[in-house]
Amino acid sequence: MAEKLVLIDTDAGTDDAWGLFMALAAHRDLNPPLFRIVGITTSCGNTMVDNVANNVTRVLDTVQDTTTPIYKGMDGFMLSDFRFLEDPPYHGEDGFGDANLPPIPTRVQAEHSIQAIIRLAEMYQGQLTMVCFGPLTNLAMAVKMQPQIKNWFKEIYVLGGNIQGVGNVVGVSSSAEFNFFVDPEAAQVVLDSFEGTPIYDLPWEIMLETKSTHDFRTQNLGNMGTPTMALMNAIEAKNLGEVTDYWLAPDPILIACVIDPTIMLELEDQRCDVELTGELTRGMMVLDRNPNSAKPKNVKVIMSVNLSRYEAMLIWAAGGPRP
């Protein structure tokens, strides 16, 4: 089996940290080497991009990875500036739970995320898997700057959107998922630009169906005693104390699908677009379910995930054995 080359784009809040730790577990597993992270690009979303870059550095430092390159990207969205949507922000102002962690120097390349996406897509034409944990601003800007990249990716995985109009931007939108809501123009550009390239989308409703128990997080994971869990326990402490009936971390669900596609139990080929002008629905992903529609299918929507397999991969991400 050929090694999978992966470029991750993130707005590193606490959930993204879980996704990064899982990706890094696969990246470090050399028996056999099947998964290699070629870079991590960053953008604003859960917090300001400077914080995101620092958070990614902290994750890499935690597993003693000093070689994976980090690129700093967009500090705003395609048509708007960055702003926090909640007060206080769900992930904290720093994106890592405002946990008063000791300061560390941010380790980033001089190259901008957009330029890195274009260069790496060209370098690994037909081989590169793009994984998007956050708003799609960097990728949308990259395809606008260099339209040829629409033919260069092997596949694209997207965390975002919704299929039943369920929103998760508390007090702001009852009909849109966060990543698509903060930059719907970017989401539409991406969904509309990569004809012929498989786009796998994990929508909010399926994220909700893939939640774990609070005890699984606090006991099974929380008591593992690894450096990874020391960090995760610190940055998730506030939210774990406030939400006790379940635990949900969407980003690692997506990367688990990349690492082991067999955990995707059901996929649906759909035509998906993003509402850009609706007063109540801006940012909502709209599926064209009309059987007579002439519009081409552009997204493979992930409809179901193997929860037990995914939870075994979370233990692996936290420093446990490979499932």
Burial 15-28 (b: 16+ CB within 10 A, else e): bbbbbbbbbbbbbe
Both tokens of 206, joined, read: 């399926």
Q: For residues 131 and 256, give the distance between their C-alpha atoms in angstroms, rounded to a whole number.
A: 11
* Strands in the chain per DSSP E: 4-10, 35-42, 70-72, 128-132, 153-159, 199-202, 264-270, 272-274, 285-287, 299-305
pLDDT of residue 115: 98
pLDDT of residue 121: 98
Find out whether 191 and 272 touch, Cβ atoms under 8 Å. Answer: yes
Q: How many other β-carbons are positioned within 10 Å of the β-carbon of residue 270?
A: 19
Q: Is the overall model pTM greater than 0.95, yes or no?
A: yes
Q: What is the pLDDT of residues 209-257, one digit of tens each?
A: 999 999 999 999 999 999 999 999 999 999 999 989 999 999 999 999 9
Angle at 255 between CA 38 and CA 188, to 5 degrees: 90
pLDDT of residue 1: 66
Q: What is the pLDDT of residues 78-121, one digit of tens each?
A: 999 999 998 899 999 999 999 999 999 999 999 999 999 999 99
pLDDT of residue 31: 78
- pLDDT 10s digit of each residue in the chain, 323 long? 678 999 999 999 999 999 999 999 999 997 777 899 999 999 999 999 999 999 999 999 999 999 999 999 999 999 999 999 988 999 999 999 999 999 999 999 999 999 999 999 999 999 999 999 999 999 999 999 999 999 999 999 999 999 999 999 888 898 999 999 999 999 999 999 999 999 999 999 999 999 999 999 999 999 999 999 999 999 999 999 998 999 999 999 999 999 999 999 999 999 999 999 999 999 999 999 998 899 999 999 999 999 999 999 999 999 999 99
pLDDT of residue 30: 78
Can you name the residues that pair with 305 across neighbouring β-strands?
264
| Structural domains of the chain in order of their starting residue, each with its CATH number | 4-317 (3.90.245.10)
pLDDT of residue 33: 76
Q: For residues 143 and 189, give the distance between their C-alpha atoms in angstroms, rounded to a whole number.
A: 8
